């Protein structure tokens, strides 16, 4: 491919930043949805509402990123063993 390590590192960094921004957008949208559903009549604090929204989205997001990592290893012919 005739690519040097610096160009490949920049490509990996760009992908990582993109994944972080994507996860952040998903989280903010979910927080906004929970806060708008809460309305003024709810007795919960906004902090508790946001915490519930974070916990709702965070687990699937982490699992999705781990699956992407495992699939990348499979394509490179590496073993997926955790031990």
Q: What's the average model confidence in pLDDT over 25-50?
A: 83
Neighbours of 53 (CB within 10 A): 21
Tokens matching residue 20: 């972080």
Q: What's the average model confidence in pLDDT over 53-60?
A: 86
Tokens matching residue 67: 């699956």
* pLDDT at position 29 over 90: yes
Output the average pLDDT for the chain: 79
Buried b (16+ CB within 10 A) or exposed e, 28-44: eebbeebeeebeeeeee
């Amino acid at each position: 491919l005739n690519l040097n390590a610096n160009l490949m590192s920049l490509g990996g960094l760009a992908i990582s930043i993109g994944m972080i921004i994507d996860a952040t957008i998903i989280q903010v949208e979910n927080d906004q949805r929970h806060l708008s559903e809460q309305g003024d009549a709810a007795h919960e604090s906004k902090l508790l509402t946001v915490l519930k929204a974070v916990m709702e989205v965070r687990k699937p997001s982490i699992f999705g990123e781990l699956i992407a990592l495992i699939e990348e290893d499979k394509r490179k012919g590496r073993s997926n063993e955790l031990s």
